Amino acid sequence: MRGRAQNAIAECLRLAEYTEEPGRITRRFLTEPMHAVHDRLRKRMTELGMSVTVDAVGNMRGLWEPEGASRKRLIIASHVDTVPHAGAYDGVLGVCLGLELVQNAKERKHPLAIEVIAFSEEEGVRFGVPFIGSRAVASRFDPALLALKDADGITLESAIRNYGLDPARIADAALDQNTAAMLEIHIEQGPVLEAEGLSVAAVTDIVGQTRMSLRFAGHANHAGTTPMHLRHDALAGAAEWIAAVERIARDTEGLIATVGKIEIEPNAANVVPGVAAVSLDLRYSSDPARAAALETLLARAGEIADRRGLALESKRLMDQPAVPMDERLTAFLVEAMEALDLPPKSMPSGAGHDAMVMAAKVPAAMLFLRSPGGISHHPDEAVREIDVENALRVAASFLERL
């Protein structure tokens, strides 16, 4: 598997060249560089003898059906969009490994049909809502999403049409009824495997997550002539709340809370900020505890806004329950590790993944491989060849067990 691991890594680096920003890896949902990604993947899939389609939300799908294959099929999938200024492996590696596994299964005359899906959108960067690609495949796409606008005022519906696709056919992206299981291979994006000196782990469950937007609105005014006690400073209110978010999360075991985005109006050095719009990303393995934490955080935002004379608006963008992976499939991954003399590590995922969306429709499993330094969503994101090789070995053994 060493050569296949090297191929997958090299392919990730090639795909990293297709970006919206020269010198930085940024590839949002259905932007121009996605055409180049699709062209590259289509060529590889065609060389493998796969039938290739692109569905109405831009998911590229390659199906390998060996002669005499059963009607049942396995999906191997991950995403090919990125966060701004990203690394080369998040999501994309899972797609490249899927193609290497097809090549391996083809040579071994494995009888199971395999569909490799390169989901067009998982990160939620362009339209503020994640998992657009897998939502469509899992028949969980809400048509109301089509009205969402990106930073340039382009609607999701227009983005789909501009890419040459038909939003009226999104329902046709639904999973084939003969799909038996889904496997997603992904870098851990955290420090656990690195800290324990391990290559791979089976994911037991994916924590629940809530994403919110909050808007603190006060009054913009001259910075030099407005006394401190007469100000309604939206940014100061948002900053107080951000500090409260960190404090509450630190004091609550297992709670992860992040304010990662802030937009200020009018955003001038000599003007008291009139508007501060901020994001909230809240994650917890317990859904009731996450709901309680969210209630506490929103109540605190309301208290701060009232005391400072600010108006507060909040909007829920996503509320994803914690999702367990399929126990039988997860056991297959653990058995594969043991058979290959790898430590049988299992762990939860603190990050959201397409597998959590797909699990509502089909039995799903996830395989993590080590992130050196625990780094992800960053240009320094990396993988080790031995870990990629071990992931391929475990996944190939998993296929045998299916």
Total domain count, the chain = 2
pLDDT reported for residue 69: 75
pLDDT reported for residue 307: 98
CATH of the domain at 145: 3.40.630.10
pLDDT reported for residue 109: 86
Instruction: Indicate if 299 and 351 belong to the same structural domain.
Output: no
Instruction: Indicate if 195 and 331 belong to the same structural domain.
Output: yes
Q: How far is CA 311 from CA 216, 234, 303, in A?
A: 6, 9, 11
pLDDT reported for residue 379: 95
**Domain edge (last residue) among 293, 320, 347:** 320
Amino acid letter, 363 = P
What is the CA 335 to chain-centroid distance, rounded? 27
* Cα(359)–Cα(179) distance, integer angstroms: 12
* Cα(227)–Cα(289) distance, integer angstroms: 42
pLDDT reported for residue 351: 87
* Cα(307)–Cα(310) distance, integer angstroms: 8
pLDDT reported for residue 318: 85
pLDDT reported for residue 254: 83
pLDDT digits (tens, 9 = 90+) for 239-290: 999 999 999 999 998 899 999 999 999 999 999 999 999 999 999 988 999 9
**Domain edge (last residue) among 291, 320, 349:** 320
Taking the model in full, what pTM does it have? 0.81
* Cα(160)–Cα(173) distance, integer angstroms: 14
CATH of the domain at 248: 3.30.70.360
pLDDT reported for residue 2: 85
Instruction: Indicate if 251 and 332 belong to the same structural domain.
Output: no
**Domain edge (last residue) among 299, 320, 341:** 320
pLDDT digits (tens, 9 = 90+) for 71-123: 889 999 999 999 999 999 999 999 999 999 999 999 988 888 999 999 999 99
Positions in the chain short of pLDDT 50: none
The boundaries of the domain holding residue 271 are 208-320
Instruction: Indicate if 231 and 329 belong to the same structural domain.
Output: no
pLDDT reported for residue 133: 97
Amino acid letter, 197 = G
Q: At what angle do helices 327-339 and 385-401 cross, to 10 degrees?
A: 120
Q: Of the candidates 27, 31, 2, which has an alpha carbon nearest to the alpha carbon of residue 84?
A: 27
Cβ contact 213:279 at 8 Å: yes
Instruction: Indicate if 292 and 304 belong to the same structural domain.
Output: yes
Q: Which residue has the tokens 């809370």?
A: 257
DSSP one-letter code for 12: H
pLDDT reported for residue 297: 98
Instruction: Indicate if 222 and 300 belong to the same structural domain.
Output: yes
